[in-house]
């Protein structure tokens, strides 16, 4: 890392893509290898969706969701053991935001323009602090359009559903694979068709199809581009 230190503040890496393409796993490792901050923007939307569920808020009530965001204290960061954690109003919700009911409601929460505006302000403020790897749906197109490095990760629906199934199984949730596929298709459709900052590949993003690639192969491809090799 020695010779790379001077360039770090200019290292703004945007990683976008549909559900289950491997963005967060890859982006976290890239950030760690480059010594950069990592921000999982999906976790921020998930935390708000969790707050809506926990407070019995109607997720169709856009105004109430915006108020809920203003009241929410959402923090995404590392614990003392350098594990990524998400806190909502002082509570560790790292595991709770991966529950199936959050998967099922988050896209609707994230489609509210006022919610997005509040989240994007927070995301841009974090990027002002220096080099960052940020993953989400609209990072290269909307949140950080001037990012010098943009990647769009994709994978077949089969591969993405299988990954999500394994992830949920590891957390003790057994979800029918067919239901999971439908949920992914529905969420991608909602994310791609919403009016504000939909899921899109930025014209200057490098597309990586991860269907047949291991996590380390994807990480290495990204590092090779960022390091200029």
Summarize as ranges the residues that interact with ligand CDP (CB under 6 A): 19-20, 23-24, 41-42, 45-46, 106-107, 110, 136-139, 187, 191
Contact 61, 112 (CB under 8 A): no
- Taking the complex as a whole, the smallest distance from the CB of residue 195 to ligand CDP amounts, in Å, to 12
- In this complex, which beta carbon is closest to ligand CDP, that of residue 6 or of residue 132? 132
- Taking the complex as a whole, the smallest distance from the CB of residue 221 to ligand CDP amounts, in Å, to 19
- Taking the complex as a whole, the smallest distance from the CB of residue 139 to ligand CDP amounts, in Å, to 6
- Taking the complex as a whole, the smallest distance from the CB of residue 7 to ligand CDP amounts, in Å, to 25
- In this complex, which beta carbon is closest to ligand CDP, that of residue 76 or of residue 226? 76
- In this complex, which beta carbon is closest to ligand CDP, that of residue 191 or of residue 226? 191
- Taking the complex as a whole, the smallest distance from the CB of residue 142 to ligand CDP amounts, in Å, to 8
- In this complex, which beta carbon is closest to ligand CDP, that of residue 151 or of residue 191? 191
- In this complex, which beta carbon is closest to ligand CDP, that of residue 20 or of residue 118? 20
User: What is the rounded CA–CA span in Å between residue 191 and residue 111?
Assistant: 7
* Per-residue 3-state assignment (H helix, E strand, C coil) for the chain: CHHHHHHHHHCEEEEECCCCCCHHHHHHHHHHHHCCEEEEHHHHHHHHHHHHHHCCCCCCCHHHHHHHHHHCCEEEEECCCCCEEEEECCEECCCHHHCHHHHHHHHHHHCCHHHHHHHHHHHHHHHCCCCEEEEECCHHHHHCCCCCEEEEEECCHHHHHHHHHHHHHHCCCCCCHHHHHHHHHHHHHHHHHCCCCCCCCCCCCEEEECCCCCHHHHHHHHHHHHCCC
- In this complex, which beta carbon is closest to ligand CDP, that of residue 36 or of residue 40? 40
- In this complex, which beta carbon is closest to ligand CDP, that of residue 200 or of residue 206? 200
- Taking the complex as a whole, the smallest distance from the CB of residue 16 to ligand CDP amounts, in Å, to 8
- Taking the complex as a whole, the smallest distance from the CB of residue 5 to ligand CDP amounts, in Å, to 29
Phi then psi dihedrals of residue 78, to 5 deg:
-110, 150
What does each C-alpha distance from 56 to 49, 59, 107 come to in angstroms?
11, 9, 17
């Amino acid at each position: 890392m020695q010779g790379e230190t001077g360039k770090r503040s200019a290292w703004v890496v945007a990683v976008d893509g549909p559900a289950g393409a491997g963005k967060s796993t890859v982006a976290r490792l890239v950030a760690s290898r480059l010594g950069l901050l990592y921000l999982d923007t999906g976790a921020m939307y998930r935390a708000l969706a969790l707050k809506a569920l926990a407070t019995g808020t109607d997720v169709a009530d856009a105004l109430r969701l915006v108020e809920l965001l203003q009241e929410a204290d959402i923090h995404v960061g590392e614990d003392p053991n350098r594990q990524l954690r998400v806190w909502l109003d002082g509570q560790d919700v790292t595991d709770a935001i991966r529950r199936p009911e959050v998967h099922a409601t988050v896209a609707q929460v994230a489609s509210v323009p006022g919610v997005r505006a509040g989240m994007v302000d927070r995301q841009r403020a974090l990027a002002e602090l220096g080099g960052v790897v940020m993953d989400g749906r609209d990072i290269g197109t909307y949140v950080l359009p001037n990012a010098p490095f943009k990647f769009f990760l994709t994978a077949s629906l089969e591969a993405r559903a299988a990954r999500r199934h394994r992830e949920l199984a590891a957390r003790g949730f057994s979800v029918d694979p067919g239901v999971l596929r439908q949920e992914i298709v529905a969420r991608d459709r909602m994310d791609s068709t919403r009016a504000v900052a939909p899921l899109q590949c930025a014209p200057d993003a490098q597309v990586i199809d991860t269907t047949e690639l291991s996590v380390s192969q994807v990480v290495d491809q990204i590092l090779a581009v960022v390091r200029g090799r």
